Structure 1
Amino acid sequence: MNGNNELAAAAERVYRRMVDGSATDWGMNMDSWDWVPGVGVVSILAYAELVGKQEAIGYLQEWVERNKHLSEQAKVINSMAPYAIFPELYRRTGDGWYLEKALQIGDWMLTEAPRTREGAFEHTVTENASFPEQVWADTLFMAVLFMARLAKLTGESKYAKEAEFQLLVHLRLLQDPETGVLFHGWNCAERNHMSAARWTRANAWVVLACPWIAGEIASLLPASDEIADRYRKLAEGLLRDQGAEGMWATVMDQPGFYPETSGSAGIAAGWLAGIKLGWLDDTYKEAIDRALKGVMAQIGSDGTVQGVSGGTPVMPSVAAYDEIPCYPTLYGQGLTLILLSLALSNRGG
């Protein structure tokens, strides 16, 4: 088990590596408006809130000011991710611009964002690529988390109901009834899971987003037993696929594939979030400690998180996931930072 001082030092290194401003490559460049820096800023907010890193709030305000001119370039599901920090920035600053912008984006999602025939948000991206009628697990973290936080900020039930609906429809379409874990995607037109890969990072996005979203809307809607039950089945399924060293393979039921850090960090963070919400008990703590140990081993002395697979659409085959190269990314840093922050908060450190 890692001590609090060791976890705190690691979190600080991971955070500093994210905000040093030197990277211009796709994976580590904070200065764009898309899901990659979006995960970065969401994780920095979690670090500030859970560990009390107040200087991080100032960084987030500066980041928004520096990059908000980019926000209008594309309204797609993946570029919703950065808006998840707006409700908290509005609470802390009282700056009406954050609220005004958040309401504009929330209403766009309600009324204009492309949907599949089941009503799920179609997974749209800033890249020159189209995935018509496809539902991806990633969407819950990249877009629905923002909507849930907007619901809590405004007290508007329309946002809470949409967040709950999206959470349910994604779980219903993506969850494997036999194992409890999730497939990466669902094609609504063809009625299949495409390559049917049980991709680890897809599961990480959902096992973390699920309790976070449910916690945000709890004051506005009665608790959904179905969401909690499906979350517990997911958590149990993930436990069965954890490797001996505490990590998960990039496709979790393929133990010969390489171990992947971002997904492993996100799963352990999702378990901690579930414990905090009261959905899981302490029986998960041993597995969380093993995951922590495995993830910590991937953090370099300069805070760079290694072993992170690159951006991954739904691949044409399960085998193709093992061919995705690994390199440092903000979402790898971010999911690791969230795990470390939750672990410290859980231990009172």
Structure 2
Amino acid sequence: MTISEYTDRYISNYKNFKDYWNYEDGCILTGCIKLYYATGERKYRDFVFSYLSSVISEEGIILNFDHCKHSTDSFNSGRSLLFAYKMTGAEKYKNAIMFLLDKIKVYPRTSEGSFIHKSIYPDQVWLDGLYMVQPFYASCIRLFGDGDYSDIMQQFRNARSTMFNNSKKLYCHGYDSARVQPWADSESGRSRGFWLRAIGWYLMALVDTADAVGDSDSECVKLLTDLFCEAAEGVTKYSDSGSGLFYQVVDLPEDERNYTETSGSLMIAYALMKSVHLGFPVDRSYADLSRRIFESVVKEKFKTGDDGLTLTDICCSAGLGPGRQRNGSPEYYFSELIVADDPKGVGAFMMAYSEIVNDNMTGRRDNDEA
């Protein structure tokens, strides 16, 4: 089974991950959008519109939106609405976008001004929340001129000042501005361990937000570029020397309980290759590492079963709290369930593959010009 056959089967059989508007579906939608732009194959576009047709009314109401809680997870799928609106100009998609944008304007924040992760996690910032909100937020500002990028810049600055570990050169998973959570250090407010997918979300947030802003000379893009270069330099030092893949707990590769995790590795592969394509001041070796990661996933993480290929070694989920649950220790991250074909991993696979396709096209154009 080829990569194309795998993605065809996956999206053909896809069922909404949850019964409400959720970020996991957003990962697959974003993967399809990126593959549509990279390949021009209409099947990816059709998947997005088919999905939206079941959850967006003709008036632009998100029919399955959960109004009972604040969550940064609620905004990731908004990127599919932006795509649909750009493709069609249909007012219903704009209405749905504006609904989400209005939610952002009144979304609860920490004392530093960052969006809290969820209402059940007050005063907390998690790295994945930056990915869920900021690329969509920046796209709305660029498309509709509603606001400026200063808020986005401040939230990324906050993450750098509160969540970056200078000795490890890695970002922690979460930060508690109130410093009361059992998993948070009483002085810094940071969580203990360095979870791979959290760092993957963060690197994708940086490149996708920069892409959404678009102006490479803007103060916002310059900030995002600097933050990306620092974070990428830090994490790539922990890449497995053979496969290029990264470990579930990034800085403990020799722990026998550790394993090379698929979704986070693919997120980093996507972000590294995209940073090259965006013209960030990074070494071309990032593109080579991205390819090595992708090729290792294809070789090592796809397993053949009765139904064909499955994408394995995906951490099902990880979080912090509430209370003394999920304490952010390496032991905790090792204990989380490992699954196959989860949309967080498959979506990241599609995104990484889209950048590989783009890179192949760039190489062909360069050869033609030579």
Tell me the TM-score normalized by structure 2: 0.83
CA distance in 1, matches of 2:158, 2:129: 11
Deviations 1:218-257 (CA, angstroms, capped at 9, x unpaired): 3394345443222111111111100132211101001121
Aligned residue type for 1:251:
V
Which of 1 and 2 has greater Rg?
2
Kept in 2: contact 1:31–1:67 (CA 8 A)? no
State which of 239, 244, 249 in structure 2 corresponds to 1:242.
239
1:53 deviates by: 2.3
Aligned residue type for 1:166:
Q
CA distance in 2, matches of 1:91, 1:195: 39
2:132 corresponds to 1:131: no
Kept in 1: contact 2:107–2:115 (CA 8 A)? yes
Higher relative CO (Cα under 8 Å, sequence separation at least 6) belongs to: 1
CA distance in 2, matches of 1:201, 1:266: 8
Q: Residues 148 and 19 (structure 1 numbering): CA distance in 2 closer, same or farther, change over 3 Å?
A: farther
Deviations 1:249-271 (CA, angstroms, capped at 9, x unpaired): 10100112111000000011110
Which ranges of structure 1 fall in alignment gaps of 5 or more residues? Answer: 1-5
State which of 311, 329, 340 in structure 1 corresponds to 2:353.
340
Q: Secondary structure at the match of 1:304?
A: strand
1:14 deviates by: 2.9
**Equivalent position of 2:202 in the other structure:** 206
**Equivalent position of 1:3 in the other structure:** none
Q: Secondary structure at the match of 2:194?
A: coil
**Equivalent position of 1:85 in the other structure:** 80
1:173 deviates by: 2.2
2:17 corresponds to 1:14: no
**Equivalent position of 2:182 in the other structure:** none
1:30 deviates by: 6.7
2:185 corresponds to 1:195: no
Q: Mapping of 1:204-283 within 5 angstroms?
A: 204-219=200-215, 221-243=218-240, 244-255=242-253, 256=255, 257-279=258-280, 280-283=282-285
Kept in 1: contact 2:195–2:250 (CA 8 A)? yes
Which ranges of structure 2 fall in alignment gaps of 5 or more residues? Answer: 57-62, 180-186, 321-325, 365-370
CA distance in 2, matches of 1:80, 1:101: 11
Q: Secondary structure at the match of 2:165?
A: coil
Q: Secondary structure at the match of 2:125?
A: strand
Q: Residues 181 and 71 (structure 1 numbering): CA distance in 2 closer, same or farther, change over 3 Å?
A: same
State which of 286, 289, 292 in structure 2 corresponds to 1:287.
289
CA distance in 2, matches of 1:284, 1:108: 37
State which of 310, 335, 346 in structure 1 corresponds to 2:316.
310
Kept in 2: contact 1:10–1:303 (CA 8 A)? no
1:96 deviates by: 0.9
Q: Residues 168 and 195 (structure 1 numbering): CA distance in 2 closer, same or farther, change over 3 Å?
A: closer
Q: Secondary structure at the match of 2:7?
A: helix
Q: Which moved more, 1:205-214 or 1:46-55?
A: 46-55
Deviations 1:79-133 (CA, angstroms, capped at 9, x unpaired): 21111121121010111111122122112212x21111111110017xxxx2111
Aligned CA RMSD, in angstroms, stands at: 2.2
Q: Residues 340 and 224 (structure 1 numbering): CA distance in 2 closer, same or farther, change over 3 Å?
A: closer
Aligned residue type for 2:333:
Y
Aligned residues: 331
Percent identity over the alignment? Answer: 21
Q: Secondary structure at the match of 1:123?
A: coil
Kept in 1: contact 2:162–2:188 (CA 8 A)? no
